[in-house]
Amino acid sequence: MGNCLEGRSKVDKFLSSQTTNSVANQIPNRSAHASSLSGPTVPSKDEKFTSGSALTLKLSKRHIVITKFESLCICCNHIVVATQVSHRNAHASTLSSLTIPSNNESFTFGSVLTPKLSEGEILSLPNLKAFTMTELKNITRNFCPDNLIGEGGFGYVYKGRIDEHTLIALRPGVVAVKKLKPEGFQGHKEWLSELNYLGQLHHPNLVKLIGYCLEGENRLLVYEYMSKGSLEKHLFKKGARLLSWAIRIRVAIDAARGLSFLHNSEQQVIYRDFKASNILLDSEFNAKLSDFGYAKEGPTGDNTHVSTRVMGTKGYAAPEYIATGRLTAKCDVYSFGVVLLELLSGRRAVDKTKVGVEQNLVDWAKPYLGDRRKVFRIMDTKLEGQYPQKGAFMVAILALQCISEVKLRPDMSAVLHGLELHQANKHGSSPSHPEQPRGSSPSPRPQSPLTPNTAAVNISSPLKSPLLKSSPG
């Protein structure tokens, strides 16, 4: 028990120091690998609300009433509330060359974003190729159904192949082509946003955007191919390959590196839609962030937040963001904590097939996260106990910190370092269930300045609102 408490103490001590004094994350070079693109599933129907309606959310045992919204719309599992967007300053940009990544080929990092580019400037970014519809039809065999690898509210994703006879200017290889539905919830603005961010920022843990097509009503994007699909598929789809504990930690670290890179760029970028379906895996299970349609530039100068439309996915979106429309990097940290819980438990963030509190993963898991004797109760049964007890407890503590009250959340650099500490420590692989022996008295729970008292802090999920309904499980 002493070793377990010591492990928690190390995490809490580190996170405490990192929260008060954020340090820019040092990101090591890593190889890029060939990979697949898939999209989230489409819910059965859209739910819309009239303009000007008041939204009431239960937050920290109080009711906050939000009025004067221009509109509130829940569409294809996505939350949209219109408010106000603030201005940002401009910075210089860094661009990289146009290639399809191959094994053992490193990316050139581009860590500086030029905000507020015009549409013409975005479409003219030198490292993006402008494809014609004829070229993309050739690449995908006229969008053959056999090449369909993903479908979501945005549209369809097709597997395609570029060979030396198709496009001489590009290196031969497999690509993924995303074709937006004209009636989809992602329109031209989101399509252009993805071009803007992925056209300028480059990192081993961000999916590489190769080019685009804009002809008439057609909006398409061409990416590197991620052969293992999404994390969502591996965690929740029946028949999918089971992810071992070691792979889950690797995926968490890769995703944390991607988010930390965005947050620590000269012009901070807030991802705003971090979830399992947007984490893609290549042939070696290296993880990369995809779908930057909802990404937003972070606050600049003396500003502490960006006031913007509330956009994201139910179950992952931070409650204070939904309540106020104030966007900060800590909103991504909350979403990351939810994905950590999915990796630990093998459960979806929102699952309507379950009953009561178990429908919402955060509400169900939170009481068990801070107690080393109870953490095993939330662990994925498909792992069959093949995970290190101390390591699972350390990751559970990190998840608890991420979903805690916004003022107590660490930044992504601290979370990343905590995960890397776990990986480096290589806790013993012999699993054991640390439930309190019958008849013995429980030991006091250690407290951290960053560990919330779950009995006192009650950050309600978006599902607590009478206007926000849970998505299909």
Residues labelled as active-site residues: 273
In contact, 256 and 344? CB cutoff 8 Å: no
> Please, what is the angle between helix 245-263 and helix 389-402, to 10°?
30
**173 φ/ψ angles, rounded to the nearest 5 degrees:** 165, 175
Beta bridge partners of 73: 48, 80
Sign of CA dihedral 256, 257, 259, 265: positive
To the question of whether residue 179 is assigned a binding role by annotation, the answer is: yes
How far is 7 from 11, CA to CA, in rounded Å?
7
**90 φ/ψ angles, rounded to the nearest 5 degrees:** -95, 150
Pairing mode of beta strands 78-81, 310-313 = antiparallel
How far is 428 from 112, CA to CA, in rounded Å?
41
Q: Where are the beta strands (DSSP E) in 90-191?
A: 105-106, 129-130, 148-152, 155-162, 173-180
Sign of CA dihedral 343, 348, 354, 358: positive
How far is 228 from 151, CA to CA, in rounded Å?
15
Q: How far, rounded to the nearest angstrom, does the alpha carbon of residue 268 sit from its chain's CA centroid?
A: 16
392 exposed, middle or buried (CB, 10 Å; 0-12, 13-18, 19+)? buried
User: How many CB atoms are closer than 10 A to CB 325?
Assistant: 21
In contact, 282 and 436? CB cutoff 8 Å: no
Q: Tell which residue, 466, 385, 371, has the closest CA to residue 429.
A: 385
Annotated binding site for ATP: 179
Binding residues: 179
